[in-house]
Structure 1
Amino acid sequence: MDNKECIITVELGTNGVRVMAFNLRGESIGSMKGSYPTFHTQPDYSEQDPEQIFITMLYVLKNLLTEVIHPKHYNIVSICFSASMHSVLPIDQNGEPLGNAITWADNRGKREAIELNSSSLGKRIYNATGTPIHPMSPLIKIAWLSRNDRGRFVNTYKFLSIKSYIIQQLTGEYVLDYSLASATGLLNIHKASWEHDALAYAGIKADLLPELISVFASPGKLRKEYQKSLGLHESVKILIGSSDGCLATLGGGVWEEGKATITIEDSGAVRTVGKQVIQDEKQRFFNYLLWENYYVSGGPTNNGGIVFEWFTKQFGDFKGPFDIDHAMENLMREAATVSAGSEGLLFLPYLLGERAPIWNANARGNYFGINIKHEKQHFVRATIEGILYEVYSIGRMLQEHRRIDTLTVNGSFASIPLIAQMLADIFNKPVYTGSNPDSIARGAYLLSAIDLGIYKSLDEAARSIHLPITVKPQSSNHNVYQKYFPIFERLSTKLNEEFEAIANVQQEEYIKH
């Protein structure tokens, strides 16, 4: 193959789009990113403007092509897409969005989720779909629209994910890959078809959803206008790709027993790969289908790097109004001056409710154990430790079903050296990381490389990942964390009644005003 050929990956993330280019040897030759906002117009609401996402994606892609790819005369072979999970966007028969897209972080369907979760139907749906019954799920979001926004519901021609909308804009086709579909709560992951019980609960038929296709499938060629505006040949293959979580696992090389990956960007997750789903009576795990009999199992947290970003915006020192990276670096340095355990200061990081392991959409953030000796730097470190305790709680839960000997970390937050060391200390396991934390893009590259015949299988592709940087745990710090973590864990459930009470007060106050 021509050394001047390349693969483009497009990641449609929670707060931004990342576009990367790789040569066929898997070496990064360029990357760019752009951001877009999330709107919280009411309590529990989390929405994004799909047209703004599409325009941002086009802008970032065009800039990378114009500034890096075209000047170096690279021939683009394929463009592979990844996206965050659980989004829902109703569109009309003309393909126009009916309002904003509802994101994974939206909790408006919590009553529906509680009702379904406590029923035998909910258990059947979970066992069939592998997706926990929670407001994050498109199953619950669509059911909520049916019951609470009837006008929008009855005028919907298709319920899309954000990625399906972007693909439709580019190619004209309504499609969804099996992998992303397996995170909707609507797909039977054992039969790889839409699940009847889930469709019936949501009040829809399968024709209201996109056509299901393989992660290696192409939905079609770019529309002529985008071929022209982007300077791309019609032969460029559009590869639908997979979800960000599945690709982060593949791109992290986590493909064997005893390995798990921790991803922390805005949100976070702990994941393993296996050929069997995890059967859990408490319905705490997701089991997402990557390809045929490969399942990515684990648990997600709502509250990852976005929580530290929130803290930084409130309490960081800024050189300029938008210089958040500088402010975060300064806070990390302050955190490093405090010993493990933050001298007894604990933080519950539930600013966006929580998914695994407590699955409580009403959960709220809380600092606990404050005394007169605590200073700003203690709050900084406690905030980070709270985020990582939550990740650890998912990992502990996962180890009830999977052996975990080593961890691979990825994502911009998890790959910070201080964070990687703290994860190693809390888990008491070696942590592997690499020079490039973007394993989602790496996973998308690997899918394209398999499609091109560079690798023969997912196994071979995953084993091509080498992560030379190893962080070893410090036993003294682990011992401290083992004393504080049980308190964190108990607080996360002991406050359930208070979480619900304050959520109800907020809702009442919103309605009143």
Structure 2
Amino acid sequence: MTSNKKCIITIEIGTNAVRVVAFDLSGKTIASMKGSYPTFHAQPDFSEQDPEQIFITLLYVLKNLLNEHIHPEKIQVTSICFSASMHSVLPINKSGTPLGNAITWADNRARKEVALLKGSSDGNQIYMATGTPMHPMSPLFKIAWLKNNDKERFSNTSKFIQLKTYIIHQLTGEYLIDYSLASATGLLNIHTIKWEEAALSYAGINKSMLADPVPVFTSCGKLKKAYQNSLGLTAATQLIVGSSDGCLATLGAGVWDGNKATITIEDSGAVRVIGKKVLNDTQQRFFNYLLTENCYVSGGPTNSGGIIFEWFAKQFGDFKYAYDLEHTMKDLIAIATKVEAGADGLLFLPYLLGERAPIWDANARGVYFGINIKHERKHFIRAVIEGILFEIYSIGKILEEHSTIKSLSINGSFASIPLCAQIIADMFNKPVSISQHNYSVGAGAYLLSATEMGIFKSLDEAARSIELTEEYFPKKNINGIYRKHFEIFEMLSTKLKPDFENVVNLQ
């Protein structure tokens, strides 16, 4: 007898790891697995990854999940949906072979290219057309940097693709990029959904050098025979191009109207809202990315997420067990709970990796401010956590200039820590809820696949199916404390801009 059990598999190609999750058709998680890979920093502003290593890791994790949890239970895989972090660039030659490593979102090598275009009439035109802020994260500037500084690789490039496009091509032979990832390149006109000529001209390329932009529900083609055999899947398994991690995290958090925002904090972080209109910001402080036609995810990303707390834990944590970072971080969180809001006047600017929204300054650096003789280790721990969340609040604050936000849905391993969730509620002075899914990106990919299959009539209906299990409410009198501290945080982030640049020039 054959089983009638079916599942949807989601594959998230993240910044530091690939996550594979199997959902039954009702949305319940069957199993999940994760495989990590490194980021290489050949020079201070460089962040690169090996595409072959990522692909091999993906195959390894997917095959293990299938062999351990899916095939033994005779569960049919109906579809596989892909998601990926944004802004990667991978040059390939005519045969599809990578020309070196992929350049990731965290790469800041194109600072000079950004400085020359930002604030100009051409730069303003490109921002208004593409919705992508002027910052080295943007593939537009990464490609321009290659044109100006790595002429041999640039001239040998047949296409500039993203990591997800590379993975899909390896599996199916197709070169595709979904609307969401395409709209995060700084090269796609989000109004016409066509490659923007002004941006192409600036980058020195033509549209044939980019993958074909397609709707997020698009089938990627059939899995190659070799991978059907290796993975134990059939040609009938549908591969869906999917979306970006940011757009799917918003969908997976149950956000589908302008009155709710979602906050995601993993290694990096973001605050996002979703709506049918582009939110135009004359100061270019946030992005507008496409999920589907006439549906825009607007918000701002931060480099300064959980990775900053991880850095602090590695440098200053007490490792009771060798290399046990997770327990060390838990111990630090427990210590931070013993310190009152505001860390007794100690502030931390978390810009160890430069910063994106809202200051968009690749030169920004980390700062402790307000240290006095009474401050102890516990205050420094609390200040780091509050600094990361002040940065999140600074993004939400500018979004509220353009939309009404009444509540927050949070997700990601750092944001979901009870102390962090409560601080977010207190800083924003709004109720905060947490969804039942640990990883909202995978949940969003499931919802997208289930909508394509007809389980949900629309993405709107799919988003409303998300259950929010935990709630946090602002504590009385705490918001006022955070508002006073944030005024200083915000002032320092702006006032220190020339000093940030001076410090970078010393390196």
Q: TM-score, normalised by structure 2?
A: 0.98
**Contact 2:4 2:76 (8 Å CA) reproduced:** no
Partner of residue 322, structure 1: 323
The aligned amino acid for 1:289 is L
Change (3 A) 1:3 1:254: farther
Could you tell me how far 1:417 is from its partner in structure 2? 1.0
The aligned amino acid for 1:180 is L
Alignment of 1:11-160 (within 5 A): 11-160=12-161
Partner of residue 280, structure 2: 279
Pick which of 383-392 and 463-472 moved more: 463-472
Partner of residue 182, structure 2: 181
Cα separation, 2, equivalents of 1:459 and 1:198: 32
Could you tell me how far 1:118 is from its partner in structure 2? 2.2
Cα separation, 1, equivalents of 2:54 and 2:316: 29
**Alignment of 1:473 onto 2:457:** no
- Measured against aligned partners, the alpha-carbon deviations of 1:279-335 in whole angstroms (never above 9, x if no partner) come to 111111100000011000011101101101111111112244332111111111011
The aligned amino acid for 1:88 is V
Cα separation, 2, equivalents of 1:374 and 1:229: 58
The aligned amino acid for 2:142 is K
Pick which of 192-201 and 320-329 moved more: 320-329
**Alignment of 1:167 onto 2:168:** yes
Could you tell me how far 1:169 is from its partner in structure 2? 0.8
Cα separation, 1, equivalents of 2:130 and 2:323: 42
Could you tell me how far 1:450 is from its partner in structure 2? 0.7
Could you tell me how far 1:3 is from its partner in structure 2? 5.6
**Alignment of 1:340 onto 2:341:** yes
**Alignment of 1:376 onto 2:416:** no
**Contact 1:5 1:74 (8 Å CA) reproduced:** yes
**Contact 1:428 1:475 (8 Å CA) reproduced:** no
The aligned amino acid for 1:192 is I
Helix, strand or coil for the counterpart of 1:478? Answer: helix
**Contact 2:20 2:62 (8 Å CA) reproduced:** yes
Pick which of 377-386 and 473-482 moved more: 473-482
**Contact 1:9 1:80 (8 Å CA) reproduced:** yes
Cα separation, 2, equivalents of 1:3 and 1:129: 45
> What number of residue pairs does the alignment pair up?
505
Helix, strand or coil for the counterpart of 1:56? Answer: helix
Partner of residue 305, structure 1: 306
Mark the runs of 5 or more structure 2 residues left unpaired by the alignment. Answer: none
- Measured against aligned partners, the alpha-carbon deviations of 1:168-225 in whole angstroms (never above 9, x if no partner) come to 1111111111111000000000000100000000000001001111110112111111
Cα separation, 2, equivalents of 1:475 and 1:271: 26
Alignment of 1:341-420 (within 5 A): 341-420=342-421
- Measured against aligned partners, the alpha-carbon deviations of 1:364-408 in whole angstroms (never above 9, x if no partner) come to 011111111111111111001000000000000100001011000
Partner of residue 250, structure 1: 251
The aligned amino acid for 2:45 is D
The aligned amino acid for 2:214 is I
The aligned amino acid for 1:314 is Q
Helix, strand or coil for the counterpart of 1:78? Answer: strand
Q: TM-score, normalised by structure 1?
A: 0.97
Could you tell me how far 1:93 is from its partner in structure 2? 1.3
Partner of residue 196, structure 1: 197
Cα separation, 1, equivalents of 2:481 and 2:437: 31
The aligned amino acid for 2:17 is G
**Contact 2:290 2:297 (8 Å CA) reproduced:** yes
Partner of residue 460, structure 2: 459
Helix, strand or coil for the counterpart of 1:404? Answer: coil
Cα separation, 1, equivalents of 2:217 and 2:146: 32
Cα separation, 1, equivalents of 2:337 and 2:364: 28
Pick which of 104-113 and 309-318 moved more: 309-318
Could you tell me how far 1:477 is from its partner in structure 2? 1.9
Helix, strand or coil for the counterpart of 1:454? Answer: coil
Cα separation, 2, equivalents of 1:252 and 1:217: 22
Cα separation, 2, equivalents of 1:307 and 1:292: 35
Helix, strand or coil for the counterpart of 2:406? Answer: strand
The aligned amino acid for 1:381 is R
Partner of residue 219, structure 1: 220
**Contact 1:135 1:361 (8 Å CA) reproduced:** yes
**Contact 2:437 2:443 (8 Å CA) reproduced:** no
The aligned amino acid for 1:112 is E
The aligned amino acid for 1:495 is L
**Contact 1:3 1:24 (8 Å CA) reproduced:** no
Partner of residue 502, structure 1: 503
RMSD: 1.0
Mark the runs of 5 or more structure 1 residues left unpaired by the alignment. Answer: 507-513
The aligned amino acid for 2:184 is A
Counting aligned pairs with the same residue, the percent is 66
Cα separation, 2, equivalents of 1:481 and 1:186: 39
Could you tell me how far 1:481 is from its partner in structure 2? 0.7
Could you tell me how far 1:120 is from its partner in structure 2? 0.3
- Measured against aligned partners, the alpha-carbon deviations of 1:4-54 in whole angstroms (never above 9, x if no partner) come to 100000001101111100000000000010111111111211111111111
The aligned amino acid for 1:65 is L
Helix, strand or coil for the counterpart of 1:392? Answer: helix
**Contact 1:3 1:23 (8 Å CA) reproduced:** no
Helix, strand or coil for the counterpart of 1:73? Answer: coil
The aligned amino acid for 2:389 is L
